[in-house]
Amino acid sequence: MKVRDVMTSNITAADSNTSISEIAKKMRDLNIGAIPICDEQNYPIGIVTDRDIVIRGVVEGLTSNDNVAQIMSKQVIYVTPDMHVHEATRLMGENQIRRLPVVENGKIIGMVSIGDLAVQNIYEDDAGHALSEISTPSRPMM
């Protein structure tokens, strides 16, 4: 099965000048936990999660008017729509991430999440393994 078979294609993206407040409102209104940040050509240059807002924004003392470029993850791991879902779950596990932008011809066309993969019964074991790797702390807990 290919990523295109399980990805969400109706996505919301933002640019790096979008305020943290606008991003948080979009997440709330759409009931999502991550928004890709794209350049003028719709290529993902970052991603911001609800966790980024709290850990990198609130804890660091940023205001809701600050732009999202200050808190987004800049290293974007992405997949292509023709990539096999096994490869997507491997990337999620190795990089301890729950969502991957789907890029085709240099433009974002969708997102695939660990949840998208888990609902496919045939890939339940892969998704479970990836989630296990994601949930394992990469550094010792204090």
Domain assignment present for 58: yes
Total domain count, the chain = 1
Owning domain of residue 94: 3-135
> Within a domain: residue 120?
yes
Q: Residue 63: inside a domain, yes or no?
A: yes
CATH number at residue 45: 3.10.580.10
18-32, 50-64, 103-117, 123-137: least confidently modelled range: 123-137
pTM, to two decimals = 0.81
Structure confidence at residue 92 (pLDDT): 92
Query: How much is the average pLDDT of 112-118?
Result: 86
- Give the model confidence (pLDDT) of 78-90 as tens digits: 999 999 999 999 9
For residue 126, pLDDT over 70 is answered with: no
- H-type alpha helices, 35-123: 50-52, 85-95, 114-118
Q: Please compute, for residue 131, the number of CA atoms within 13 A of its CA located in the half-sphere on the CB side.
A: 12
Q: Give 3-state DSSP helix, strand, coil % of the chain, rounded to 5.
A: 40, 25, 35
The answer to the question of residue 141 being in a domain is: no
Residue 106 lies in a domain: yes
